[in-house]
Structures are given as structure tokens and as C-alpha cells.
């Protein structure tokens, strides 16, 4: 969707008349249904003055096309500025220009990541050249009109307020690959930008190209299909086994015809392979040239999935990422825009009022926006009051939208080394549900140990990492998470403390999005929000004082004051039963992240003694 478009001549005239920002603002309200922010209006007033001078002085033809605020289909991202036209050889081209008002920036030690003032404070953001190139790559991969009409695309970044430093942080060596794909033009480079635009689109005849780009069907290109298919080949993390294969084939069969709206619900607990099935379904539906997207509410899980998929081709991350998204962007999607939406961890879908979500109900958004929607779900993994994803809610919304409901259940456990008895035991001791099978498991295939010192948990996990296993420290949200503004942007503050044992570790860093697979992650503690949906060989879990045991009533209960997740306990001060249920779910999730073993320290002495007693009955207590 284009917010504003015109010829180069009209663009110049509207800037001269001080009417351009008003025109963009009116078009924004008409197409987006809301008013732009003051920051956006200021950016248009500032940046468009500079771009008008560039367009005028570049002497490109009057009938070049201008697009402002182009909303990239299937995403919530908007391209600042696009110019269309032909070059001297008659090729139809378009150029993406990413505009920044920055006057300073800082480099980081990571590829394509810089630090800049955004929203009134310093934030880690992508390098402008990388951002411009990634938008171009997305359009090439997903817009059929660009593919069919052989449109050539180019991209660049223009920082009109930024003067070159010596040495310049935006031009450090780690950014040169991105700059090669999308040139970086700074304040003193206006003439170079003018020459760049004239070279690629200067001969005009670009108005029709605006129409082609805006109305191109959204479907994967052949190159993208080949790329993603290559990522799956030989990737053992996504090999289907037994019952997983059956569920996967059922999904492909049901999604074959797109004439009738369908809602597919796949239920399964920890370790049943929901994510393996969903990723394989993504790959094969993509091969069928369907407009498909993988939706994951949990950002850390989403990042880890992408990183696992692309680990053999780490330099080409963007092409895989276009197929992944969060769950909050579909509230304004056209009806049935997507052929298939695959939702993993659907129990984490949100309702009205959730952080940064502008819609009413994410389940409804997804069902409305797609012809076929597949929800992978476990009702026992809801961990916050605003988690509205449930089998019951999905069925309710599907019925309202006349979507045929198909339901499948996964029961085979592939996590915990086949130790289904361990997961049943967790259900039993935490009083989550009645189970007839809680009489133990084989410690040779799955190791569980309750330790008396939290430092020993860390030692055990560190040993496993040194032995070549994937292992991480995890904890319940029973400690404050110091804000980035207070000097804790990336795990600098040791928030998880147990003073009587001189134990102190930081929560996983906000900037370390790959905590689960980054080698630095071993020195930080993950929470449920950064580990849900993921799996490791071994996990070390600290059960905080947010969960306690009453020896008199013989019941486990939540301590509202000790639970530090403000959103997780919102509205539950007088509903301890519901809060207890959510916190029990959290600890089950944490303890079931390990496939080979789990080591636990328990802060509450009564709860620890209770677990000791339960282990004693199974003759599994280690000295």
C-alpha cells in the first residue's frame, strides 16, 4: 500500500507550495484509518525538503514516479521514499531511499547494528544501508509484479543531517558489506545521491511502475523458494519423526485447496514436535508458491528459529526473515490476504491492551487475514493474563468467521529423551493436572537433580557446555529486571541474586536476541519469555520465592509480591488461584526445556522439602 504517490513534477510543486506534508497526512488518515504521530509529521517536514532539492537538482524527468511511505505488504514496515523510472538503456527501475534525520551515531561490534537516538533515547538499530537493502530484498522476493515485469531494484540511505566523522562510525569495516549493497549518502554527498538517482531512473516514464508495484500479487519468488528449500536440506533440527510426519502430511492435505476457509488446530504438550512440524509445513507450502507466513508471538523463539534455519548461511539472513513475523501486525490486514498463516506457540496470542498491540484480538486478526490458518497450541503453556490463545477461543472465532475447523492431537514425546514419565511427574508434583503415570522414569536417559546450592546448578550447566552440550540457566520471574535506562541494556546488572549463597547472575541481555544460541548466553539467566518454545540438552532451573508450598494445606501457591512480572500478574492481586496456575505453567515450561537433563535449585524451603519427599517416593533422590 502506498500512502502517497505522484510524479516528480507534482512532488516538487507540492513542496514549493508547502502542501506536501498536508497531502501525506490526509492520505495517511484515509488509508491507515488513524492520524500520523507528531514525530512522523516532523520527519516529513524535514526530510522532504531535502529530497525535493535532490530530485530537482538531479534533473530527472518530470514523469519519474515518487512513492512516499510505501507499506511493505505482509509486514508493518514502511519504506520512506521510492523513485521509479527508466535508465539510459530503457530498463524499468526503482530506487528505495531510506531517510534518516540522525546527526550522530555509534558503531557496535556486531554486523549491521548501530546505536542511534531514536524516540528520545539511544537504541540499537540496524544500519541504514542494511535497512534499505533488506526492504529491497523483501520486495524482490515477495512482489510478483517485480518478478514478472523484470523491474530492476536499487537502494540507498540518505542521512541529510549527518556529517562525516574521522573515523566515521557508520563506515566501519563491519558495515562495508551493507554499504556495498545500498550506498550510504551523508550530508556532504547530495551531489553523489543526485547522480545515483539520475543513473538509474533519470529518463522517466515511471508513473506506470508505481501502479505495478502497488498492485503486484504477494507470493514468493522462485529464487526465494530455492533459497529456503536449500536451508532445510540436511538440517537435522527439522527432520520429522513418526507422529510428527502424520500431522505434517495432514496439514499439507488440508491446505491444498484454498476455496474454503479452514482453521487447523494442532494440540500438543512440550516435546511433541510442534515447532518441527510448523517449520516443515512452512517450507513445503512455500514450494507451492503460496503466500505463507510463519507467525510466532515470542520474539526470542522467532529469532532462534531463524538462526537455526540459516546457520549454514549466516550471511544471508534477511531472505529467510521475510517469512517470519510477530503476531501483532495483522489487525489491519485485508480479509484473506494470506493463503496460509502458520502460528506456533498460539497460546501466547494477545487481546486488546497488550503491549504495542493496536488491535482487539490476535486470534481473530489471523483467522480473518488468511484462507487457511494453522494454530500449534498447548493450553497449559499460557503464562500471562493477556494470553488469550486457547483451543476454545480459536474455535469460537473460527465459527464466527465461517471457517471449517479441523483438529489434531500430538501425544508422542520427543523431548526429555523419551522420558514422558518426567513430564507427567512435573504435572503431578506441581498439582497441574491429574495423571495416571507419575511413577518415575529412567535416569539413564534423562537426568534430574535437586541441588542445595544455586552455584552448583551453574557449575553443572557449565560442565555440560564444556562437554559440548547445549545448556542454559533459567529462572522464574522472581527477581527484578533492571531497566536499560538504569545501566542494564545487555545483562550488565546481576539481578538474579541469592545472598545466602553469594549467588549472582544477570538476566539475559535485551540486546542479545540470540541468547539461546550465543556462546555468551551461558553467563546469563533466561526467563520463560526468552526460552518458551526452545529446547536445550540440559537446563538449570532456579525456582524463586514466587512459588511456595504450604505444609498444612499441602498446596502449592503463588506469592504475588515475590512475582516480579508486572504484566504477568496484572489484575490478579485478588485471584491467587489464577496466578498460581500461570506460575506453575511457567516452571513446567522451564523444567521441560531440557532433552537430556534438568538441575533444580528451589528457594522456598517448604517447597524444596516437598519435592525431596516426592523424589524419595520414586527412589530418585541423589546425594
Question: Distance between CA 548 and CA 557 in Å, rounded?
Answer: 5
For residues 119-135, average pLDDT: 86
Is the pLDDT reported for residue 150 higher than 90? no
Is the pLDDT reported for residue 146 higher than 90? no
**Residues 443-471: b if buried by 16+ CB within 10 A, e if exposed:** beebbbbbbeebebbbebbeebbeeebbb
Side-chain-side CA neighbours of 331 within 13 Å: the count stands at 19
For residues 410-417, average pLDDT: 60
What are the Cα distances from residue 454, in Å, to 479, 603, 610, 623?
15, 9, 18, 16
Q: What does the DSSP 8-state code read for residue 243?
A: H
Distance of CA 230 to the CA centre of its chain: 22
Question: Distance between CA 294 and CA 230 in Å, rounded?
Answer: 18
Is the pLDDT reported for residue 312 higher than 80? no
Question: Distance between CA 104 and CA 164 in Å, rounded?
Answer: 9
Cβ(28)–Cβ(36) below 8 Å = yes
**Equal fold, 222-409 vs 417-618:** yes
What pLDDT score does 297 carry? 87
More confident residue, 441 or 30: 30
What pLDDT score does 201 carry? 94
For residues 590-598, average pLDDT: 90
What pLDDT score does 247 carry? 80
What pLDDT score does 476 carry? 96
What is the greatest pairwise CA distance in the chain? 86
Contact residues for 605 (Cβ-Cβ < 8 A; gap 6+):
none
What pLDDT score does 138 carry? 82
For the stretch 460-498, pLDDT in tens is 999 999 999 999 999 999 999 988 778 777 778 899 999
Cα dihedral sign for 614, 619, 621, 623? positive
What are the Cα distances from residue 165, in Å, to 104, 127, 169, 228, 574?
9, 16, 7, 40, 57
Is the pLDDT reported for residue 574 higher than 60? yes
What pLDDT score does 598 carry? 94
* Among 347-356, 364-373, 384-393, the least confident range: 347-356
Is the pLDDT reported for residue 502 higher than 60? yes
Listed by start position, the domains of the chain span 2-215, 222-409, 417-618
What pLDDT score does 618 carry? 66
For residues 137-163, average pLDDT: 88
What pLDDT score does 317 carry? 58
What pLDDT score does 495 carry? 93
What are the Cα distances from residue 333, in Å, to 146, 161, 175?
21, 35, 34
The C-alpha cell of 459 is what?
557449575
Partners of 538 in beta bridges: 471, 597
Contact residues for 140 (Cβ-Cβ < 8 A; gap 6+):
146, 147, 153, 221, 223
The C-alpha cell of 399 is what?
465459527
For the stretch 83-103, pLDDT in tens is 999 999 999 999 999 999 999
More confident residue, 429 or 8: 8
The C-alpha cell of 37 is what?
504521530
Question: Distance between CA 535 and CA 472 in Å, rounded?
Answer: 10
Cβ(544)–Cβ(478) below 8 Å = yes
What pLDDT score does 512 carry? 54
**What DSSP string runs through 340-401?**
EEEESSGGG-BBTT-TT--SSBHHHHHHHHEEEEEEEE-GGG--STTB---HHHHHHHHHHT
For residues 373-393, average pLDDT: 92
Partners of 449 in beta bridges: 599
Is the pLDDT reported for residue 315 higher than 70? no
What pLDDT score does 623 carry? 43
For residues 591-598, average pLDDT: 89
What pLDDT score does 141 carry? 81
**What DSSP string runs through 408-446?**
EE-----SGGG-HHHHHHHHHHTTSS--S--S---TTTS
Question: Distance between CA 435 and CA 428 in Å, rounded?
Answer: 7
Closest CA to 458 of 469, 479, 445, 474: 474
Cβ(114)–Cβ(107) below 8 Å = yes
Cis peptide before 167 (omega within 30 of 0): yes
What pLDDT score does 74 carry? 61
Partners of 361 in beta bridges: 351
Mean residue pLDDT of the chain comes to 86
For the stretch 172-222, pLDDT in tens is 998 998 999 999 999 999 999 999 999 999 999 999 898 888 887 777 766
Question: Distance between CA 10 and CA 427 in Å, rounded?
Answer: 67
Q: Residue 278 — pLDDT band, cuts 50, 70, 90?
A: confident
Q: Which fold has domain 222-409?
A: Rossmann fold (3.40.50)
CATH of 417-618, one of 1.10.760, 3.40.50, 1.10.8, 1.10.3470: 3.40.50
Amino acid at each position: 500500500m502506498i500512502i502517497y504517490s505522484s510524479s516528480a513534477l507534482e512532488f516538487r510543486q507540492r513542496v514549493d507550495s508547502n502542501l506536501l506534508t498536508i497531502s501525506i497526512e490526509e492520505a495517511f488518515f484515509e488509508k491507515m484509518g488513524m492520524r500520523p504521530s507528531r514525530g512522523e509529521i516532523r520527519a516529513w517536514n524535514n526530510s522532504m525538503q531535502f529530497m525535493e532539492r535532490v530530485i530537482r537538482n538531479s534533473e530527472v524527468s518530470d514523469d519519474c514516479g515518487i512513492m512516499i511511505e510505501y507499506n511493505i505488504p505482509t509486514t508493518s514496515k514502511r519504506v520512506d521514499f521510492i523513485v521509479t523510472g527508466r535508465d539510459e538503456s530503457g530498463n524499468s527501475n526503482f530506487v528505495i531511499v531510506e531517510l534518516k534525520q540522525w546527526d550522530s551515531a555509534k558503531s557496535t561490534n556486531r554486523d549491521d547494528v548501530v546505536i542511534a537516538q531514536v524516540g528520545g533515547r539511544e537504541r540499537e538499530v540496524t544500519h541504514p544501508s542494511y535497512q534499505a537493502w533488506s526492504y529491497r530484498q523483501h520486495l524482490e522476493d515477495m512482489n510478483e509484479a517485480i518478478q514478472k515485469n523484470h523491474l530492476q531494484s536499487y537502494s540507498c540511505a540518505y542521512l541529510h543531517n549527518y556529517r562525516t566523522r574521522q573515523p566515521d562510525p557508520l563506515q566501519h569495516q563491519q558495515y562495508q558489506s551493507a554499504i556495498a549493497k545500498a550506498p550510504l549518502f551523508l550530508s556532504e554527498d547530495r551531489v553523489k545521491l543526485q547522480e545515483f538517482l539520475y543513473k538509474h531512473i533519470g529518463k522517466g516514464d515511471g508513473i506506470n511502475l508505481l501502479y505495478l508495484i502497488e498492485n503486484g500479487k504477494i507470493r514468493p519468488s522462485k529464487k526465494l523458494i530455492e533459497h529456503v528449500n536449500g536451508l532445510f536440506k540436511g538440517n537435522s533440527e527439522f527432520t520429522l519423526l513418526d507422529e510428527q510426519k502424520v500431522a505434517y502430511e495432514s496439514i499439507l492435505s488440508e491446505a491444498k485447496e484454498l476455496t474454503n476457509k479452514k482453521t487447523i488446530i494442532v494440540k500438543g504438550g512440550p516435546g511433541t514436535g510442534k515447532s518441527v512440524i510448523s517449520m516443515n509445513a512452512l517450507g513445503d507450502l512455500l514450494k507451492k508458491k503460496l503466500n505463507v507466513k510463519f507467525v510466532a508471538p515470542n520474539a526470542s523463539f522467532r529469532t532462534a528459529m531463524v538462526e537455526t534455519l540459516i546457520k549454514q548461511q549466516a550471511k544471508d539472513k534477511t531472505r529467510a526473515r521475510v517469512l517470519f513475523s510477530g503476531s501483532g501486525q495483522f489487525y489491519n490486514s485485508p480479509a484473506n490476504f494470506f493463503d496460509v498463516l502458520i502460528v506456533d506457540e498460539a497460546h501466547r496470542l494477545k487481546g486488546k491492551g497488550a503491549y504495542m498491540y493496536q488491535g482487539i484480538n490476535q486470534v481473530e486478526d489471523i483467522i480473518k487475514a488468511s484462507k487457511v490458518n494453522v494454530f500449534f497450541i498447548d493450553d497449559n503453556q499460557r503464562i500471562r493474563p493477556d494470553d488469550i490463545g486457547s483451543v476454545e477461543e480459536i474455535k469460537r472465532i473460527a465459527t464466527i468467521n465461517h471457517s471449517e475447523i479441523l483438529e489434531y492431537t500430538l501425544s508422542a514425546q520427543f523431548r526429555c529423551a523419551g522420558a514422558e514419565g518426567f513430564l507427567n511427574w512435573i504435572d503431578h508434583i506441581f498439582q497441574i493436572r491429574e495423571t495416571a503415570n507419575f511413577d518415575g522414569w529412567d535416569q539413564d536417559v534423562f537426568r534430574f537433580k535437586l541441588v542445595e546450592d544455586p552455584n552448583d546448578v551453574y557449575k553443572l550447566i557449565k560442565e555440560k557446555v564444556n562437554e559440548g552440550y547445549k545448556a542454559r540457566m533459567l529462572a522464574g520471574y522472581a527477581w527484578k529486571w533492571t531497566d536499560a535506562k538504569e545501566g542494564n541494556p545487555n545483562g550488565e546488572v546481576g539481578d538474579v541474586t541469592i545472598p545466602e549463597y553469594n549467588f549472582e547472575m544477570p538476566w539475559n541481555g535485551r540486546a542479545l536476541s540470540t541468547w539461546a544460541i550465543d556462546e555468551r548466553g551461558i553467563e546469563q539467566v533466561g526467563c520463560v519469555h526468552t526460552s518458551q518454545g526452545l529446547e536445550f540438552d540440559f537446563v538449570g532451573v532456579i525456582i524463586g520465592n514466587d512459588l511456595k508450598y504450604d505444609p498444612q494445606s499441602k498446596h502449592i501457591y503463588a506469592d504475588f509480591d515475590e512475582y516480579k512480572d508486572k504484566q504477568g500478574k496484572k489484575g490478579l492481586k485478588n485471584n491467587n488461584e489464577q496466578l498460581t496456575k500461570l506460575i506453575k505453567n511457567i516452571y513446567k515450561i522451564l523444567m521441560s526445556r531440557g532433552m537430556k537433563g534438568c538441575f533444580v535449585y528451589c528457594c522456598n524451603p517448604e517447597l524444596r522439602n516437598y519435592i525431596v519427599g516426592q523424589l524419595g517416593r520414586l527412589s530418585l533422590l541423589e546425594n
